[in-house]
Amino acid sequence: MDCIFCGIVSGAIPSTRIYEDEGAIAFMDINPGTRGHALVIPRSHFRDIHDIDPEVLAHVAKVAQRVAGAARTALAADGVNLVQSSGAAAFQSVFHIHFHVIPRYEDDDVRLPWCPRPADPADLRAQAEKIRGAM
Ligand code: 5GP
Ligand code: ZN
């Protein structure tokens, strides 16, 4: 399989690692949105949030939490965004699941691409009912 992040796991592709254990690896994003932007991935290949084993996801989330806390302390970040994109429509470009840990600074230029607007409460109820029914 031709997967960049599997290449990073194996060491075939170099990376600047922050942390690794038996289940997950954290490394610096090669095209950071902010200072300290890191990625956390499972060692094993899963495509996205729909595909990943829930226990592996829980472990990756724990590692992401630790990286977020360490980045806040070490880099004096004012906040942090954890971003997980699943699917091309959600801007996923590498199809080995990953969490972005993006330290945020009062003066950074990151703008998340979404435009909040008030919703019709009846629409919210209808959407909630559909999602609830599929859980
Ligand atoms: P996505 O767009 O799938 O949510 O995020 C993929 C991320 O992987 C991007 O932020 C991109 O900069 C990063 N990336 C892509 N190729 C490499 C690589 O070879 N090394 C590292 N460290 N990051 C990469
Ligand atoms: Zn992979």
Q: Which domains does the chain have, with CATH numbers?
A: 4-134 (3.30.428.10)
Two tokens, residue 49: 């949030």
Protein residues near ligand 2, an ion, with CB under 5 A: 3, 5-6, 45, 96
For residue 116, the model assigns a pLDDT of: 84
For residue 7, the model assigns a pLDDT of: 98
For residue 111, the model assigns a pLDDT of: 87
User: Which residues contact ligand 1 via a Cβ below 6 A?
Assistant: 4, 13, 15, 27-31, 39, 85, 91-94
Cα separation, 20 vs 66, whole angstroms: 12
78 neighbors 105 (Cβ within 8 angstroms): yes
Probe residue for ligand 1, chosen from 49, 94, 101, 112 as the CB with the greatest number of ligand atoms within 8 Å = 94
Flag whether pLDDT at 56 surpasses 80: yes
Cα separation, 67 vs 25, whole angstroms: 11
25 neighbors 35 (Cβ within 8 angstroms): no
For residue 27, the model assigns a pLDDT of: 98
For residue 25, the model assigns a pLDDT of: 98
Mean pLDDT (the chain) is 96
For residue 51, the model assigns a pLDDT of: 96
Compare 114 and 39 and report the one with higher pLDDT: 39
What global pTM score does this model have? 0.95
How many other C-beta atoms lie within 10 A of the C-beta of residue 35? 14
For residue 112, the model assigns a pLDDT of: 78
By annotation, the residues acting in catalysis are 98
For residue 114, the model assigns a pLDDT of: 78
The alpha carbon of 76 and the centre of ligand 1 are apart by a number of angstroms equal to 24
Cα separation, 92 vs 70, whole angstroms: 25
